[in-house]
Chain A
Amino acid sequence: MPSLGADMDAGTLVEWLVHEGDTVRRGDPMAVIDTDKSAIEVESFDEGVVESFLVEPGTRVAVGTPLARLTPLGAAAEEAPALSAPPAPGPAAAAASREAARIPAPRRPAGARIGTPPLRHHAAELGVDLTKVVGTGAHGTITRADIDRAAAEAASSGATSATPSAAAPPAPAAPGAPRVSPYARRLAREMGVDLTKVEGSGREGAVRADDVRAAAAGPGPTAEQAPVAEPGAEPRPVAASGSRATIAALMSRAKREIPHYYVAQTVDLTPLVEWLRRTNKERPVSERIVAAAAILKAAALAAREHPELNGFWLDDGFVPGDDVHLGIAVHVRDGALVAPAIHHTADLTLPEVMAALRDLVKRARAGRLRRAEMADPTLTVSDLGDQGVEEVIGVIYAPQVALLGVGRVVERPWAVDQMIGVRPTVRLTLSGDHRATDGAAGARFLNTVDRLLQHPEEL
């Protein structure tokens, strides 16, 4: 079970997207995971043949629990864990993929000193769980010798570092497992409905909210179907419903650990609004660009100019993001809040940013985000202008170090050259982590966004 964000400590396997015996490549979608915030497609971190599933759909397991076994291509005898990432070094450790380098951070539990990518690779090869290794290096960092020692100890004690949940017999693949909409799934959980016993009325037998309600009304199973106790499985708290509890934990952590500062600026959007009105006339409706997309692009370019605001605060130090991956706070209709990333935002053209934004919001609401999108953002933008508010003074998503709040486009009296006119304006507020930067850095960032928005044709 990979960690799909700093705040995630467990997840529910919703469905397998592959079958036992399938050959998967790195990056192929393998499973859908419900993180309490939304359902996310998780891709394979390795290449190989799916040997067996270790976790049954519907089961909630802790981060780090092996989900499946992969047999590497061409090495049938050797077994390599595929989705069996240890919690700390992150799923990408074994694969030493690009993501691992990009985001050492969100997957690292607070306080743990986890080694460099080569060390993590070494640990993965020896099957050593880095969270259980005592570091003897400077500041308690883990050295190669520590890993070798841990591996030797594990071998001598006869302990296998393999699958804690392997004791449970691998579940049948359930190839015909029905699709369930995220809303229906949440409803089922709240109403205590066993989804495996619900007949779906949607396309291809997909279970919809109405089916769950119908099943709950009928003489069905009671709420008494607690998940079978299983090592690694965590009981779900009864009171706090998923996404609310997740947001509560994440935001409490942010307010506890991050000394926020806030700087704000009102930006004249006349050039942008006029430019959009002119250019959108020539675009088909499906390609029209909204002001929010242009503000995103300007924020991405500004983040590239001010890299000190684009990254993570980890282990008492700032780690810059490898590129600008803007996180977009999206309200999902049933009340959840997610902030997935648009990758390499600064490199996209404005129409591409617009298309990516629409795609991301659509998939977030359909509960079909991808793993990398959840783990990746380097700086988040929260635009609540559509909710009518003029100003958003946001809370930073740890371990990121800044968040840009965007208000509504408002017509305000505006003084230019000793004259007062009425101009469309927007209030931009940067929340910064005072450990990483000072207010001056936030001010420079906002000035850059302002400057960029005055020349929308160059965005």
Chain B
Amino acid sequence: MSITPEEARAMVARAVRKIVPDAGVESVPPDADLRRAFELDSLDFLSFVELLVADSGVRIDEDDYPELTTTAGCSDLLVRRSA
């Protein structure tokens, strides 16, 4: 089942909020460095990927991590993989 860009953005926001409950996801530009903006360490980031995979059902490998640098990159990957 394909994921729309809006759905993908919502999934990314949900995953971030699960890890940083008071994160102002909307106020962070889509091209900002995700880990820096939300102060995610490598364990947080792993949880983030875990949540994205669970929510979207797409496969995400470590080789995809460079693409997951920004929220825009994350939603693009979800949209592309689910297509």
B42 at the interface (CB under 8 A from A): yes
Looking at B43, B46, B49, B50, which has the most chain A CB atoms within 10 Å of its CB? B43
B46 near A288 (CB under 8 angstroms)? yes
A286 near B42 (CB under 8 angstroms)? no
B31 at the interface (CB under 8 A from A): no
State how many angstroms separate the Cβ of A203 from the closest Cβ of chain B. 14
B3 at the interface (CB under 8 A from A): no
Contacts of B26 in A (CB 8 A): none
B61 at the interface (CB under 8 A from A): yes
Contacts of A280 in B (CB 8 A): 61-62
A155 at the interface (CB under 8 A from B): no
Question: In whole angstroms, how far apart are the Cα atoms of A333 and B40 in the complex?
Answer: 10
Question: In whole angstroms, how far apart are the Cα atoms of A285 and B61 in the complex?
Answer: 8
Question: In whole angstroms, how far apart are the Cα atoms of A280 and B65 in the complex?
Answer: 13
B62 near A386 (CB under 8 angstroms)? no
Taking CB as reference atom, which chain A residue is nearest B50? A285
Contacts of A291 in B (CB 8 A): 42
Question: In whole angstroms, how far apart are the Cα atoms of A357 and B44 in the complex?
Answer: 12
Number of interface residues of A (CB under 8 A): 18
Contacts of A292 in B (CB 8 A): 42-43
State how many angstroms separate the Cβ of A296 from the closest Cβ of chain B. 12
Consensus secondary structure, chain B interface = helix
B13 at the interface (CB under 8 A from A): no
Question: In whole angstroms, how far apart are the Cα atoms of A280 and B59 in the complex?
Answer: 13
A277 near B43 (CB under 8 angstroms)? no
Taking CB as reference atom, which chain A residue is nearest B36? A388
- Contact among A285, A385, A387 for B46, CB-based, below 8 A: A285
Answer whether A286 and B50 are a contact pair too, CB < 8 Å, given A277-B62, A277-B63, A280-B62: yes
- Contact among A285, A333, A386 for B42, CB-based, below 8 A: A386
B41 at the interface (CB under 8 A from A): yes
Contacts of A333 in B (CB 8 A): 20, 39
- Chain A to chain B contacts (Cβ below 8 Å), 23 pairs: A276-B62, A277-B62, A277-B63, A280-B62, A281-B61, A281-B62, A285-B50, A285-B53, A285-B60, A286-B50, A288-B46, A288-B62, A291-B42, A292-B43, A333-B39, A358-B46, A361-B43, A385-B42, A386-B35, A386-B40, A386-B41, A386-B42, A387-B41
Other than A285-B60, A290-B43, A291-B42, give 6 A-B pairs with Cβ distance below 8 A. Answer: A281-B62, A286-B50, A290-B46, A292-B42, A358-B46, A386-B40
Kindly list the 4 A-B residue pairs having the minimum CB-CB distance in the complex, ordered from nearest.
Answer: A386-B41, A285-B50, A290-B42, A285-B53
Interface residues of A (CB under 8 A from B): 276-277, 280-281, 285-286, 288, 290-292, 333, 357-358, 361, 385-388
